[in-house]
Structure 1
Amino acid sequence: MFSFNPEKRNFGAKKAIGDWLLYIDADERVTPLLRKEIQSAISHQPSTINHFTAYAIPRRNIFLGHEMRWGGWWPDFVLRLIKKEALLKWEGELHEQPKIIGKVGKLKKPLTHISHRSLTEMVDKTNDWSEVEARLLFDAGHPKMTWWRFLSVGVREVWDRGIKKMGFLDGTVGVIEIIYQTFSRMITYAKLWEMQIKVKK
């Protein structure tokens, strides 16, 4: 089971001794070019009120061995380089996000994100994540799931990733990813439906 706990990031921030914090997940890699850009960014901070206190880093997403350029997967900026004094806290049970003080800049060199190494891993991950997402939706009082809401979820996902963001241009892996993301969303809402009908009984 995946662990979603922003408190771990908050604890790490308190224990850090440097002026800057860099957050990297287990499936992410810092390239030599990104390392050089980070070093340059944090060592050439102007002493003015307009300086950046955090940086968003683009991610180069690798799914099933293929670099994703379409479907909303590039540049996929994530806020990971933060000045310690500017970090208020990390929050959110799923997809934790930092709350900061100050301005956010953007780096150019990407993190390498090696995700979805196999279809088995993808399905296992969906089973865990969808459980959390469904519970969050349920606790927030999401409207009752009906057949037309399910249909709407699927159509929107295919339209957004496959057509609007042209995910099909990533070829076979792009099409697999569109189908997978649609499947993942449907499983989340199916679990929400399951929670809703259990309350009725």
Structure 2
Amino acid sequence: MAKNRRQGFLFKKVGEGVVEVKVKGQRLKVKVSVIMLVGGNYDEKLLKKCLASVSWADEIIRVETDKLAGSFADWRNEGAKKARGEWLLYVDSDEQVSRDLKLEILNLFRISNLEFGISAYAIPRQNILLGKCMRFGGWWPDYVIRLIQKDALFEWEGDLHEQPKVRGEIGKLKNPLIHVSHRSLTEMVAKTNEWSEIEARLLFKAGHPKMTWWRFFSAAFREFWYRGVVKFGFLDGTVGIIEIVYQVFSRLVTYSKLWEKQLSATRT
């Protein structure tokens, strides 16, 4: 195992990610590279579980985000540049590839059944919030595009909710990527303070209409209606109720920061 601290990458050869594929009577070797984003305040136990869940890959590239400038999209792009596999599987340090997802991915390659024209796959993400496996409130299925053919990837775009720009169609896998988040209310508040600042900045830069009193009520109501009514968030019990209320709070924090930026701009 070798580290390159200057660039913030850790490479780990595992050796089990080369799977044979029959295509028109020929055998091909498909290499799978895992690109893992690891922040400076990562949880050691979760990181170990994440690494164990992708130990079948041919290559693991660890991108240490606290040592690199930029956004999530920039970090994912940097990881892709270092990857040598034909297919890229993106995971974060608080995520784990479930056993069924691993088998589904390997089976996808083994049976040479990569659908024609499909160059990327969206994976349902199973969110575990405050220790509860969420099924409602818009948390499931939380599809994220994470398995991508390297040659079909143009780049990742977006400062906050980044998305890959790919050539070709996007398919869907059935089995989940496990995401352990919102481990405590303290963590949730800290993350909201950080992410709301980014989102407010993007909204301000995009020329969002002036925040007035009724826009706050509108934003709060829409979030509550979506999480609690449309997506039946209350069916997740106590944690579901907490998340409904908290997502409304988080939305209000974002728009309050936007209001603050707009007010500051009028005074300069």
Partner of 1:164: 230
Tell me the number of residue pairs that the alignment of Structure 1 and Structure 2 aligns. 200
Correspondence list, 1:143-154, <5 A: 143-154=209-220
Higher helix share goes to which structure? 1
Correspondence list, 1:48-127, <5 A: 50-127=116-193
Q: Which amino acid aligns with 1:104?
A: I
How far has the Cα of 1:44 moved from its partner? 3.1
How far has the Cα of 1:173 moved from its partner? 0.3
How far has the Cα of 1:53 moved from its partner? 1.0
Separation (CA, whole Å) in 2 of partners of 1:108 and 1:169: 23
Partner of 1:196: 262
Contact 2:130 2:183 in 1 (8 A): yes
How far has the Cα of 1:134 moved from its partner? 0.1
| TM-score of the pair, normalised by structure 1 | 0.95
Partner-residue secondary structure (3-state), 2:229: helix
Separation (CA, whole Å) in 1 of partners of 2:200 and 2:112: 43
Partner of 1:25: 92
Question: Structure 1, residues 16-52: CA drift from partner, whole Å, max 9, x if none?
Answer: 111100000111001221111111113334588x242
1:9 aligns with 2:81: no
Closer/same/farther in 2, CA of residues 155 and 47 from structure 1, 3 Å limit: closer
Structure possessing the higher relative contact order (Cα contacts under 8 Å, 6 or more residues apart): 1
Partner of 2:245: 179
Q: CA RMSD, aligned part only? A: 1.6
Separation (CA, whole Å) in 1 of partners of 2:107 and 2:161: 28
From 104, 125, 142, give the equivalent of 1:37.
Answer: 104
Contact 1:45 1:51 in 2 (8 A): no
Separation (CA, whole Å) in 2 of partners of 1:107 and 1:160: 25
In structure 1, stretches of 5+ residues that fail to align are none
Question: Structure 1, residues 35-87: CA drift from partner, whole Å, max 9, x if none?
Answer: 11111113334588x24211110011100000110011111110000001110
Partner-residue secondary structure (3-state), 1:70: coil
**Identity of paired residues, percent?**
62
In structure 2, stretches of 5+ residues that fail to align are 1-39, 41-65
| TM-score of the pair, normalised by structure 2 | 0.72
Contact 1:61 1:73 in 2 (8 A): yes
Higher strand share goes to which structure? 2
Separation (CA, whole Å) in 2 of partners of 1:196 and 1:89: 32
Q: Which amino acid aligns with 1:121?
A: E
